[in-house]
Amino acid sequence: MRRDRGLLALLSALLAISCALGQIPFINGLALLQHSSPTQLGQQPHPLALYLRPAKALGLARGSGGAPLTTLATLRDDHRPDTEIARLAHDHRLPADGLKALLAISSKGTATVRGMFWPQLPAAQSDVANEGLARTRAAAKLLGRYRAATSSPAGAWLAWSVGLFRAQRLCQQAGAEFRRIVGALRLHLLAYHRHHANQQLCSIQGLALALHAGWPVASADSTVAGAGLRLTATTGEAVRATMPGRVSFRGNNGSQGLCVEIVHACQMRSETCGLNKARLQLGARVQAGAQLGTAGPALWFGLRLGSQALDPRILMPSSALGR
The phi, psi pair for 163, rounded to 5°, reads 100, 150
* Nearest C-alpha neighbor of 84 from the set 117, 44, 38, 106: 117
Answer with the residue of higher pLDDT: 306 or 30: 306
| pLDDT of residue 80 exceeding 80 | yes
Return the percentage of the chain with pLDDT > 90, whole number: 37
Answer with the residue of higher pLDDT: 114 or 226: 226
Residue 58 C-alpha from the chain's centroid: 18
Chain mean pLDDT for the chain? 80
Return the percentage of the chain with pLDDT > 70, whole number: 77
C-alpha torsion sign, points 52, 205, 93, 215: negative
CA distances from 239 to 155, 234, 291 (A): 34, 10, 6
Q: Sorting pLDDT into bands at 50, 70 and 90, what band is 10?
A: low
Per the CB < 8 A criterion, the answer to whether 51 and 109 are in contact is: no
Instruction: For residues 126-149, give the mean pLDDT.
Output: 90
* Nearest C-alpha neighbor of 50 from the set 92, 105, 127: 105
pTM value is 0.77
Q: Give me the pLDDT at residue 153, please.
A: 95
The per-residue pLDDT for range 210-246, each reduced to its tens digit, is 998 999 999 888 888 888 899 998 899 999 999 999 9
**Residue 247 to residue 105: CA distance in whole angstroms:** 27
| Neighbouring residues of 300: CB distance < 8 A, sequence distance ≥ 6 | 225, 226, 228, 229, 230, 231, 256, 271, 272, 273, 274
**Residue 28 to residue 277: CA distance in whole angstroms:** 51
The per-residue pLDDT for range 23-70, each reduced to its tens digit, is 333 223 222 222 333 333 334 567 788 888 765 544 444 544 445 567
| pLDDT of residue 12 exceeding 80 | no
* The CATH number fitting domain 222-321, selected from 2.70.70.10, 3.20.20.140, 2.60.40.1730, 3.40.50.1100: 2.70.70.10
Q: Sorting pLDDT into bands at 50, 70 and 90, what band is 13?
A: low
* The CATH number fitting domain 48-210, selected from 3.30.230, 1.10.530, 1.25.40, 1.10.8: 1.10.530
**Residue 169 to residue 62: CA distance in whole angstroms:** 37
Where does residue 72 rank: exposed (0-12), middle (13-18), buried (19+ CB within 10 A)? buried
Q: How do the domains of the chain map onto residue ranges?
A: 48-210, 222-321
Beta-bridge partner residues of 222? 231
The phi, psi pair for 198, rounded to 5°, reads -60, -45
Q: Sorting pLDDT into bands at 50, 70 and 90, what band is 266?
A: confident
Instruction: For residues 7-18, give the mean pLDDT.
Output: 55
